[in-house]
């Protein structure tokens, strides 16, 4: 720009050359202009050049910046170098690129001051020269501010010191009271003076999430863990078949859908058979309920005082509006994680005292069995009137009210036996559900072998397509080759077992120690040669459930017994299980096959080692049961026994029977392993393949302690007999022979299906195209009213068609969908609405619109089928729906619930 005059600086003063009026220079636009950041000056005809005009400003760069800061701020002496940093830090960052004119000028002045101390002094001197009076006032104001701040800090320090002294005094009083109560609790325990410091140190402390105190749980002031109690029938949907059941889309597929091929229907038939043949007060002690309408307990892991919870619930009741909560039924949100909860499990002061109540010195199996019989014979439990006892009763009452009346008991009138069956079944349900959530096995490796050993993998399941991966013990699974994390949940098995154990001991009114005597084959007192008063209609041991007996013994014995006593119980029950499985397999053999097994170990039954191999066990069983007509019901055409070289069991047949025995024994070993894991805080074994699961669990449970070659390993090496195995086995089989002679058909029906391999419960397999479902169901009639519903819905658990929101199928003012969710899912129902392609989930008194599992080619939903685009099954969404059903976490994962008021 030739006509521009440069700026010259002389000394401390600047001389600014102004551009002439006829210049064509482009200059910055004014701040009020809306036409852009830059605008050209008007052009004037250039004239002859003139000499530059000099204007004396008598200003420096620093003074100009200070004046410009004051001008833009609208106040004199607006820039204070001592307070600018603190003021900017309170509002925004000093180096922020966002601000007004004073902000950026202040940034420049601070940067100049930071270059050199002389520059900073020059800024202060220039400020004092421009505003000499302001400096004096600022210094005086600063002194007043400093005095006020010092006085304020002194008063705050005095108040803080007073509060700390008061808090220390209250804490000292509180700790003294806690110490006195702990001394009283320890004085009541059966322990020596040397053990008391150890017990007090082992008692855990819990932090209340309401008051924040970290204290022990005592009988006078108990603490509890926040839990959610729910009714579920997930276990009842286990099936024998390996393949996933198919949602019928034709009449042929509907006829092939077996609704009786479930664990719930099998258990109903078994219960009916037992009730016809045995006394109701006796057969109820040999099984477990909970397959339908069982109570599942889950926790978020937070603790609170029971008194604090009472105050918290009172405050919730006083509020005008509740966010979808039923406080009258005990529902509340956890104060920390806001998860739905409806009860609390009291924490006993003895929960942290591992192996402190009962100590057993290492001994042989016979002496351990005698010790267990003595403990069972000395069970005495009186009702507890303390705060802890009231809390235990309230927790049991909440569990009773959490399920429906039809699932609570199977007898007409409640008795101590029926209530005991209900209590023990709660523990069985929680262990079984945990096993299902681990993939129905304890295999810990993530592989593509499927959810369980012998089951169809996800890859082979056409209902889920390419989704693959095992969820048993893994942190992630693969869905469409994408790893999906599995959320780990906190366990509350030990506090739950304590609550159940207290009520089990109160209900005990029969000689449970007599059952263990028969199991172990040892007797606390010598038996009389003749039994004058035999038990009538008592269930033989070979027809009882070993897992149910295990849970009974664990709940009736002290909760923290020595691990050797636990192992002794497991060994005795494993012997019973092995003989039961061998007897069941013998019922499925032909007469010729049984003859081979009977001849393989003939003449060795009298020795002590006679029950230590598969051949000897089979020979004993077949030899005793052949005296009855039990086998003739299975094989009507009995062939003549073969002789000579053909009377030898082949190696292939022996391996087939051995593998079947291991397969049928695995469910019991898995439950025992979970129970040991929770009671003694021991990590589960690292099992890398389904083939090694039986071996890993046998060594983990100490059924086998010596190392051996896998070629010599079999299920019989885990047998451990406290007494003579032959005598004990003959005693068991003798009881069964008496029952078989009385009722051959019933004995046969119970024996052939005593132990079954149940596969993991799953939802129905859906077709890939939604049009297949729509074409078959949109004009389908209801099975009850025989009319076509306006919103026809399909249960994804069993395939039943229900009328949604219709009054035609009401029962006792309850609509069909709600009633079906109770009958089929124990309060949980998953329905596919055919006319809208949406999934509706019913949970107890609530319902929600879960979403759609059928999407278009762009991955979008088409609710109410308004767009009419082809819909395809979303494998990932359907997998997520199934996982929320199996983990029983609809209440935690879904937020938008409504009260259905029995109108669905």
Where in the chain are the domains? 8-136, 214-438+473-479+493-515, 561-637+645-752, 770-899
Percentage above 70 pLDDT, the chain: 75
**258 or 734, higher pLDDT:** 734
**314 or 660, higher pLDDT:** 660
pLDDT at position 478 is: 40
Mean pLDDT of 277-301: 89
Mean pLDDT of the chain: 78
Query: How far is residue 617's CA from residue 88's CA, in Å, rounded to a whole number?
Result: 88
Strands 26-28 and 343-347: unpaired
Helix, coil or strand: residue 852: coil
Percentage above 90 pLDDT, the chain: 30
Question: pLDDT tens digit string along 514-537?
Answer: 999 999 988 877 665 544 444 457
Q: Which of 841, 735, 836 is nearest to 797 (CA)?
A: 841
Does pLDDT of 298 surpass 80? yes
Q: What length is written for the chain? A: 904
Stated pTM of the model: 0.74
pLDDT at position 10 is: 43
pLDDT at position 184 is: 53
What secondary structure, in 3-state letters, does 490-550 show?
CCCHHHHHHHHHHHHHHHCCCCHHHHHHHHHCCCCCCCCCCCCCCCCCCCCHHHCCHHHHH
Q: Which of 324, 323, 309 is nearest to 226 (CA)?
A: 309
Q: Which two tokens stand for residue 801?
A: 């068609």
Does pLDDT of 451 surpass 80? no
CB 847 within 8 A of CB 840: yes
**DSSP structural state of residue 487:** -
Query: How far is residue 605's CA from residue 616's CA, in Å, rounded to a whole number?
Result: 7
CB 123 within 8 A of CB 67: no
Question: pLDDT tens digit string along 818-833?
Answer: 999 999 999 999 999 9
Mean pLDDT of 364-393: 86
Query: How far is residue 528's CA from residue 384's CA, in Å, rounded to a whole number?
Result: 39
How many CA atoms, within 13 angstroms, populate the side-chain half-sphere of residue 666?
Answer: 26
Q: Which residues contact 751 (CB under 8 A, 6 or more apart)?
A: 543, 583, 584, 587, 630
pLDDT at position 491 is: 85
Does pLDDT of 455 surpass 60? no
Burial readout 488-520 (b: 16 or more C-beta within 10 A, e: otherwise): eeebbbbbbbbbbbbbbbbbbeeebbebbbbbb
Q: How many CB atoms lie within 10 A of CB 590?
A: 14
Does pLDDT of 484 surpass 70? no
Cα 432 to chain centroid distance, Å, stands at 12
Rounded to 5 degrees, φ, ψ at 283 are -70, -20
CB 270 within 8 A of CB 289: no
Cα 554 to chain centroid distance, Å, stands at 23
Question: pLDDT tens digit string along 881-896?
Answer: 999 999 999 988 888 8
Which of 61-70, 79-88, 779-788 is the least confident region?
79-88
Mean pLDDT of 771-775: 92
Mean pLDDT of 788-795: 87
Q: Which residues contact 616 (CB under 8 A, 6 or more apart)?
A: 601, 604, 605, 609, 610
Instruction: Find the angle CA(516)-CA(522)-CA(523) to the nearest 5 degrees.
Output: 85
CB 653 within 8 A of CB 469: no
**723 or 728, higher pLDDT:** 728
Mean pLDDT of 434-452: 68
Q: Tokens 């014995």 belong to which residue?
A: 557
Does pLDDT of 269 surpass 70? yes
Burial readout 234-264 (b: 16 or more C-beta within 10 A, e: otherwise): bbbbbbeeeebbbbbbeeeeeeeeeeeebbb
Does pLDDT of 144 surpass 80? no
Q: Which of 301, 302, 304 is nearest to 208 (CA)?
A: 304
Q: Where do runs of H (alpha helix) occur along 365-507? A: 365-377, 387-402, 405-408, 416-437, 493-507
């Amino acid at each position: 720009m030739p006509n521009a005059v440069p700026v010259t600086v002389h000394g401390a003063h600047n001389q600014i050359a102004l551009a002439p009026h006829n210049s064509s220079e482009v200059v910055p636009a004014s701040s009020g202009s809306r036409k852009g950041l830059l605008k050209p000056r008007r052009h004037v005809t250039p004239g002859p050049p003139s000499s530059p005009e000099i204007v004396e400003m008598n200003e420096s760069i620093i003074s100009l910046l200070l004046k410009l800061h004051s001008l833009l701020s609208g106040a004199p002496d607006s820039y204070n170098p001592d307070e600018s940093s603190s003021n900017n830090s309170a509002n925004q960052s000093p180096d922020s690129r966002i601000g007004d004119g004073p902000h950026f000028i202040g940034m420049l002045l601070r940067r100049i001051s930071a270059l050199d101390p002389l520059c900073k002094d020059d800024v202060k001197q220039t400020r004092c020269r421009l505003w000499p009076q302001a400096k004096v006032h600022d210094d005086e104001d600063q002194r007043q501010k400093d005095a006020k701040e010092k006085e304020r800090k002194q008063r705050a320090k005095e108040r803080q010191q007073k509060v700390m002294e008061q808090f220390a005094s209250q804490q000292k009083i509180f700790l003294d009271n806690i110490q006195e109560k702990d001394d009283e609790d320890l004085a009541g325990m059966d322990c020596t003076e040397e053990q008391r410091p150890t017990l007090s140190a082992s008692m855990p402390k819990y932090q209340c999430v309401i008051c924040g105190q970290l204290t022990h749980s005592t009988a006078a002031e108990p603490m509890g863990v926040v839990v959610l109690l729910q009714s579920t029938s997930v276990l009842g949907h286990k099936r024998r078949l390996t393949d996933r059941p198919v949602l019928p889309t034709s009449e042929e597929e509907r006829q092939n859908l077996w609704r009786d091929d479930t664990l719930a229907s099998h258990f109903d038939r078994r219960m009916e058979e037992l009730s016809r043949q045995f006394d109701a007060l006796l057969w109820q002690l040999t099984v477990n309920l909970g397959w339908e309408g069982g109570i599942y307990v889950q926790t978020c892991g937070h603790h609170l005082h029971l008194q604090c919870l009472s105050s918290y619930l009172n405050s919730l009741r006083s509020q005008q509006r509740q966010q979808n909560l039923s406080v009258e039924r005990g529902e509340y949100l956890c104060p920390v994680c806001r998860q739905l909860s409806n009860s609390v499990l009291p924490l006993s002061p003895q929960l942290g005292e591992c192996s402190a109540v009962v100590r057993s010195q290492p001994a042989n199996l016979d002496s351990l069995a005698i010790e267990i019989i003595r403990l069972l014979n000395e069970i005495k439990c009186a009702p507890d009137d303390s705060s802890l006892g009231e809390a235990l009763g309230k927790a049991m009452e909440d569990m009773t009210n959490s399920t429906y009346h039809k699932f609570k008991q199977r007898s007409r009138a409640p008795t101590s036996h029926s209530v005991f069956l209900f209590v023990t079944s709660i523990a069985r349900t929680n262990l079984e559900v945990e096993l299902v959530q681990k993939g129905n096995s304890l295999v810990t490796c993530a592989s593509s072998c499927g959810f369980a050993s012998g089951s169809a993998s996800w890859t082979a399941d056409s209902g889920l397509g390419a989704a693959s991966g095992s969820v048993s013990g893994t942190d992630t699974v693969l869905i469409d080759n994408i790893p999906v994390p599995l959320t780990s949940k906190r366990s509350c098995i030990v506090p739950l077992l304590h609550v159940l154990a207290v009520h089990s001991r109160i209900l005990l009114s029969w000689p449970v120690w007599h059952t263990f005597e028969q199991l172990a084959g040892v007797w606390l007192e010598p038996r009389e040669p003749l039994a004058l008063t035999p038990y009538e209609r008592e269930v033989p041991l070979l027809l009882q459930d070993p897992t149910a007996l295990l849970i009974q013994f664990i709940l009736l014995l002290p909760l923290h017994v020595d691990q050797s006593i636990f192992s002794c119980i497991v060994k005795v029950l494993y012997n019973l299980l092995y003989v039961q499985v061998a007897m069941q397999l013998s019922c499925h053999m032909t007469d010729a096959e049984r003859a081979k097994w009977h001849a393989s170990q003939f003449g060795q039954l009298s020795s002590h080692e006679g029950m230590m191999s598969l051949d000897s066990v089979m020979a004993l069983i077949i030899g005793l049961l052949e005296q009855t007509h039990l086998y003739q019901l299975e094989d009507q055409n009995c062939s003549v026994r073969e002789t000579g070289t053909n009377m030898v069991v082949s190696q292939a047949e022996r391996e087939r029977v051995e593998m079947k025995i291991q397969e049928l024994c695995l469910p019991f070993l898995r439950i025992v392993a979970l129970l040991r894991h929770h009671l003694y805080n021991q990590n589960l074994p690292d099992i890398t393949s389904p083939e090694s699961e039986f071996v890993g669990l046998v060594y983990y449970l100490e059924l086998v302690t010596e190392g051996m070659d896998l070629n010599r390993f079999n299920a019989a090496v885990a047998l451990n007999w406290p007494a003579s195995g032959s005598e004990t086995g003959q005693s068991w089989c003798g009881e069964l022979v008496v029952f078989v002679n009385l009722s051959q058909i019933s004995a046969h029906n119970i024996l052939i299906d005593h132990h079954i391999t149940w596969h993991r419960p799953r939802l129905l397999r859906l077709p890939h195209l939604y049009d297949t479902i729509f074409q078959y169901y949109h004009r389908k009639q209801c099975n009850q009213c025989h009319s076509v519903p306006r919103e026809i819905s399909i249960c994804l658990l069993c395939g039943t068609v229900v009328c949604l929101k219709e009054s035609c199928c009401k029962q006792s003012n309850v609509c069909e969908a709600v009633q079906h969710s109770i009958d089929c899912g124990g309060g949980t129902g998953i329905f596919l609405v055919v006319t809208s392609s949406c999934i509706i989930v019913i949970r107890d008194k609530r319902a929600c619109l879960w979403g759609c599992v059928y999407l278009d080619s762009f991955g979008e939903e088409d609710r109410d089928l308004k767009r009419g685009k082809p819909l395809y099954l979303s494998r990932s969404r359907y997998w997520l729906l199934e996982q929320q059903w199996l983990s029983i976490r609809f209440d935690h994962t879904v937020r938008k619930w409504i009260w259905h008021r029995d109108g669905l």
